[in-house]
Amino acid sequence: GVPSIDIFPTAHISPVSNFLFSGFLEHLGQCIYGGILPSTPTTFPYAPRNPCPQDQFTPTPEHLLTPEGFRKDVLEVLRDELGTPMVRWPGGNYVSSYHWEDGVGPQEERRRRPELAWGGEESNVFGTDEFIAWCRVAKIEPYIILNMGTGTLREALNWIEYCNGTGDTHYANLRRKHTGRDAPHNVRYWGLGNEVWGDWQVGQQTASAYATKARQWAHAIKLIDPTVVLIGCGETGLTEWDSVVLDELVDKVEMHSIHTYTGFGDRDRTQVEKEYGRSVYGPDAAEYAIEISRGLINKARVAKKVQKPIKLAFDEYGVWDETVGTPENGLRQIYNFTDALAMAGWLNVFIRQADIVDIACIAQSVNVISPLIVGPTGLFRQTIYWPLYLFSKYMRGGTSIRTAVASPTFAGETLPTWISTVKGLSAHLDVSAVLHANPDRVCIAVVNRAEKDAFVAVPVRIGHGFDVDETEVEVHEMWHADVKAVNGWDDPDKVKVASRREKWTGQRTFREHSLTLGDKF
């Protein structure tokens, strides 16, 4: 059909949660050791795990470190540019054999351990107190995942007591001793395990076995700290696992966690030409899963008469081609322009689904399948950094509002095909909008996902007194002639954002494969 975009500022979906712009740090590759700490900690002999052959492990110069010894550049980008509000830690698969007591206390007494999820060894140089210290400097809300693989309920309770205890009890006192301060860490958000359904997981379980155990854990955890927000372990949002776990946990948790990655290549690399479609339209399948989750959540709430809303924590999402970012290279993936469009699609999904998605964590925040790549003396921003930056800056803080889009559709292959088959074809134009208050203004994000076709003179109508014709708008556009273009050390700004002020006539051209963000209507 003929493309058009209608925006309805009075049709509110929900306030956009600040936590939609959250991140994730896992003890994997060079995320923690290299991204958060310098790759060679001075306090403890240390060999990086999963070393990347191309990296030089030279000590990080002093001026690149904060007084606490953290990488300053990474911290500043997350805090001052992206305003990352929350970070999930310590995994990921890693958490399923992580014992938190190995990572507290004097550095020289910490135990080195074999690392089971990704291989290599864990020095435990970075543990709970370091994570909290980093969060405080970075102005980030900590979100900790519990070990439901090799970990026990006793250990989990001790960890929560260590972080949040204010009484005269053993673990609260141990924290005081280690930190030299009375104040608790005050960790509000706790996840009940990671991907316990997966056969790669240490401690994989069936849905019902997990649900029974998680229910017991949730009960006990609320006894030790009734103020925590508990997040149950879901799968992708639409599976039998999700359904069973929600039915069992709906009255015991506040949120349900789900994960999906888009951009998987063909494992034999024979069909790479299909990558564009698979990657760019991929987030549509995740949106469909969110809608199914919403149904599963409400079904469970009705059955158990649970009045409080249960929200989704999409606490791992992103673009990851497992044939590129592998355990051998520490999941290091260089992203191209195509991947940036996929990232914009992901963020559109979260804005549109803002009434049910309360947390979204990009996987991951640094070096590991990440928008940021760090070297010994600096960092560069990958292509996927820029949509995250634009959405964090312009789509945060307001109210998500309804849009109606008429658009031609994409007939090629997207992933996962079985979801696309049920939900129908993906539209080329992918749109979300936010209403900001005081003064009222609308921000619109439009991704024209068509690889080859620009859409000319598309009517953009904003209801309720917002006059598109008369207003001068700030426009931020991402476009590159080559969808395979990448940023790198040699050309860190090849893919970036072009910003300008212009008058929209109410009819607008959206270039082929582009993201356009219009602000201040």
Binding site for ligand AHR (CB under 6 A): 26, 91-93, 194-195, 316, 363-364
Nearer to ligand AHR, 195 or 225 (CB): 195
Nearer to ligand AHR, 9 or 92 (CB): 92
Q: Tokens standing for 154?
A: 């006793």
What Cα–Cα distance (Å) separates residue 398 from each residue in 296, 378, 436?
27, 34, 4
Nearer to ligand AHR, 171 or 317 (CB): 317
CB of 316 to ligand AHR, least distance (A): 6
What Cα–Cα distance (Å) separates residue 33 from each residue in 79, 102, 151, 215, 267?
19, 17, 23, 34, 29
Chain Cα centroid distance, residue 508? 31
Nearer to ligand AHR, 91 or 232 (CB): 91
Task: Indicate the burial class of 43 (C-beta count within 10 angstroms; 0-12, 13-18, 19 or more).
Answer: exposed
Nearer to ligand AHR, 26 or 242 (CB): 26
CB of 88 to ligand AHR, least distance (A): 10
Instruction: Provide the b/e sequence for 52-86 (b: ≥16 CB within 10 Å).
Output: beebebeebeeebbeeebbbbbbbebbeeebbbbb
CB of 365 to ligand AHR, least distance (A): 11
CB of 386 to ligand AHR, least distance (A): 21
Whether residue 364 has a cis bond before it, omega within 30° of 0 = yes
N-term to C-term CA, the chain? 26
CB of 264 to ligand AHR, least distance (A): 12
Specify which residues 144 forms β-bridges with.
89, 190
Nearer to ligand AHR, 28 or 434 (CB): 28
The residue at minimum Cβ distance from ligand AHR is 92
What Cα–Cα distance (Å) separates residue 294 from each residue in 17, 83, 246, 301?
17, 28, 11, 10
Q: Classify strands 86-89 and 23-24 as parallel, antiparallel or unpaired.
A: parallel
316 is catalytic: yes
Q: Tokens standing for 26?
A: 């896992």
CB of 372 to ligand AHR, least distance (A): 15
Query: 33: which DSSP letter?
Result: B
Q: Tokens standing for 238?
A: 């639409």
101 is catalytic: no
The one catalytic residue in 141, 195, 248, 254 is 195
Which residues are known to be catalytic? 195, 316
